[in-house]
Amino acid sequence: MGTSENPKVDEDGEPVKYKQNKGTGKEKFKAQQDGEKRKRKGKEHAPFGNYRNYYGYRLGQGFEEDPRLQVFRKEWFQDKDCLDIGCNSGLITIHIAKKFQCKSMIGIDIDNDRIQDAYWTLRKIGKMESSEQSHTSPDGEGQVLKSHSSSKRDLSEIVSFWKENFVQNWDPHPGKFYDTVICLSVTKWIHLNWGDDGLITLFSKIWRLLQPGGILVLEPQPWTSYEKNRKVSEATATISRSIMFYPNIFQELLLDKIGFRTVEDLTSNLSGPKTGFNRPMLAFRK
């Protein structure tokens, strides 16, 4: 029997460690070797947290709604230009655009494979939405009628995905600003790969891209999560030892150094979170 196409992952999106076969001799040795190869392969291909099955673990294999959307406010997104940094396969990006009726929503990710996954997800959800909105007319002629106004925009007109490295080289058109930026479970990977300078670049660039009064929705990973993933590559292992700005001072950095005016802690409003959703959720206003 073949192995599963999407490996199981833990709460950080990291492939679960394979258990050794309890056979003896050559069987045990081969099972151990195979397990180590699979673990190394998983780490090599996700140095930025770009796991293929990340949302499959956090949400299941369907397209159910992300529980974090419970604490997001409609006024942050409705008729607003929005940006999702580190969108992975685009599931929460699309759900926000659909649920809150964004004017525009751009998802960016460093991994081209995840961007392709995101466009697949967008097409899939778009087809599901079209099917739900249509029905056959009662005259039996098979004419398709829309249950919503024809002026309603398709998701494909609202949502787009770009393959970009936000920290190093991504820059929108001059004069382009956003009303809301979301950055969910991304800070650790930027921090481990580009250090304190990369983290400050991330926060500073977000601040510059936001409209006055704009919102940053931030879900930072705790330091314990860094310790678990710091050896994902030789570079991250080295950089992790030089980090001075720990996650517990991010709020202070964003308010006192970057220039955000206020912060609201949304964490306590998350009800019944699934595995991997027990992280701080903060909303900063420029």
pLDDT tens-digit series, residues 189-217: 999 999 999 999 999 999 999 999 999 99
Report residue 154 as tokens.
Answer: 């398709």
Q: What local confidence, expressed as pLDDT, does residue 127 receive?
A: 86
Q: What local confidence, expressed as pLDDT, does residue 271 receive?
A: 63
The answer on pLDDT for 98 being more than 90 is: yes
pLDDT tens-digit series, residues 161-179: 999 999 998 887 788 999 9
pLDDT tens-digit series, residues 24-73: 444 443 444 444 344 444 444 577 776 676 554 455 545 466 778 889 99
Short-list 1, 12, 59, CA closest to 222 = 12
Mean pLDDT value of segment 132-139: 54
- Maximum separation of any 2 CA atoms in the chain, in Å: 72
CATH architecture, domain defined by 72-129+153-285: 3-Layer(aba) Sandwich (3.40)
For the entire predicted model, the pTM comes to: 0.76
Q: What local confidence, expressed as pLDDT, does residue 43 receive?
A: 47
Separation between Cα atoms, residue 35 and residue 181, nearest integer Å: 39
Mean pLDDT value of segment 75-91: 96
Report residue 88 as tokens.
Answer: 């992975």
